[in-house]
Amino acid sequence: MSTVPGLGAVNTWASQHHERFDGKGYPFRSHDLSFSSRIVAVADVLTAITDNRPWRNGRTNAQCLAVLDKLLFDGTLARMARPDPA
């Protein structure tokens, strides 16, 4: 496998996007996630749940946040994904 110079950090973020804070994610089962990896993980779940798919309609923001909470994502990042209550 070759690497692209200067993108080592991006490789780490992408490779950790299925990790969970309780260590039950994959492929590393890591408890130690960088803040950037956490952002990518939350964005991945948010997009996967709220986007329309050929087999289902996208879920609401409230449903997405319930999944984020269940997956034990960083509460700060999950709150940042919440729509403004105004």
**Mean pLDDT, contiguous 10-residue spans, the chain (86 residues):** 74 75 69 78 84 93 80 61 52
Instruction: Confirm whether 48 is domain-assigned.
Output: yes
- C-alpha span between 62 and 68 (Å, rounded): 10
**Residue 64 belongs to domain spanning:** 8-81
Enumerate the H helices of the chain as residue ranges.
Answer: 8-15, 35-50, 61-70, 75-81
Q: Alpha-carbon distance 3 to 19, whole Å?
A: 22
- pTM (global) more than 0.75: no
Domain assignment present for 55: yes
Whether 2 is covered by a domain: the verdict is no
Q: Is residue 39 part of a domain?
A: yes
In a domain, 3, yes or no: no
Total of domains in the chain = 1
**Domain annotation covers residue 1:** no
